[in-house]
Amino acid sequence: MSQTGNDMENLERGKGRINETKAVADVDGNIIGELINKSQEAKEFAYCPYSKFRVGAAVLAPNGMIFTGCNVENACYSLGICAERTAISKAVSEGYRHFRAIAIASDLSEQIISPCGGCRQFMREFGAHWDVYLTKPDGSFLKMSVEELLPVSFGPADLKGAKV
């Protein structure tokens, strides 16, 4: 998906290509609506006494299983874990390695939530061609792929490339 500078500015402000008119439940036989709802529910469990910034995520496995996660902060800031990594780690711990989609939720009302760089790379570990739903509390969302979020990325296949 090619984007102009203006489109990117709008996306950074959370205003680009957000599905604000179509009901979430109309997308993919209610699955995406359920995924977004689960991500919003997951943020209720966030442990964020330092930032007060709640994030929830829900990842969809190919068989329809949904795994949720929330951010968990730590007094040693670098030891915290993001909601996206929590949800994916839960799925991986149950044997899943491929995903159809992930939805991410926060309390930001004026803009969509976007994953941090570390989470983008973590998602990329499990493929570049799956959907990411960046949401707002009202249920509106921006659908992107992992590849769009992390273009020209480094992944598992790169480790198998020719070396000097």
pLDDT tens per residue across span 93-132: 999 999 999 999 999 999 999 999 999 999 999 999 999 9
pLDDT of residue 28 exceeding 90, the answer is no
Residues making up the annotated binding site for substrate are 71-77
Q: Is residue 148 part of a domain?
A: yes
Binding site membership: which residues?
71-77, 82, 116, 119
The residues near 45 (Cβ < 8 Å, ≥ 6 apart) are: 56, 70
Q: Residue 15 has what pLDDT?
A: 39
**Phi, psi of 54, deg, nearest 5:** -80, 135
pTM assigned to the model: 0.82
- Give the pLDDT confidence of 30-83 residue by residue, as tens digits: 899 999 999 999 999 999 999 999 999 999 999 999 999 999 999 999 999 999
User: Is 9 part of any domain?
Assistant: no
The CA distance from 82 to 88, in Å, is 10
Residue 94: predicted pLDDT = 97
Q: Which residues are annotated as a binding site for Zn(2+)?
A: 82, 116, 119
The answer, yes or no, to whether residue 22 has pLDDT greater than 90, is no
Domain membership of residue 117 as a residue range: 16-154
The residues annotated as belonging to the active site are: 84
CATH number for the domain harbouring residue 100: 3.40.140.10
Judged against a pLDDT cut of 60, whether residue 25 lies above it is answered with no
How many Cα atoms occupy the beta-carbon half-sphere of 49 within 13 Å? Answer: 3
The amino acid present at 86, given as its one-letter code, is T
Q: Is residue 8 part of a domain?
A: no
Residue 2 belongs to some domain of the structure: no
- Is residue 72 within 8 A of residue 52, CB to CB? The reply is no
Tell me, rounded to whole angstroms, the distance of Cα 100 from its chain centroid. 12
Looking at residue 161, its pLDDT comes to: 85
* Whether pLDDT at 23 is above 80: no
**How many domains are contained in the chain?**
1
Inform me whether the pLDDT recorded for 17 exceeds 70: no
Q: What is the 3-state secondary structure (H, E, C) of the chain?
A: CCCCHHHHHHHHCCCCCCECCCCHHHCHHHHHHHHHHHHHHHHHHCECCCCCCCEEEEEECCCCCEEEEECECCCCHHHCECHHHHHHHHHHHCCCCCCCEEEEEECCCCCCCCCCHHHHHHHHCCCCCCEEEEECCCCCEEEEEHHHHCCCCCCHHHHHCCCC
* pLDDT tens-place string over residues 138-151: 999 999 999 999 99
Inter-residue contact 144 to 102 (CB < 8 Å): no
Using 50, 70 and 90 to split pLDDT, how confident is the model at 6? Answer: very low
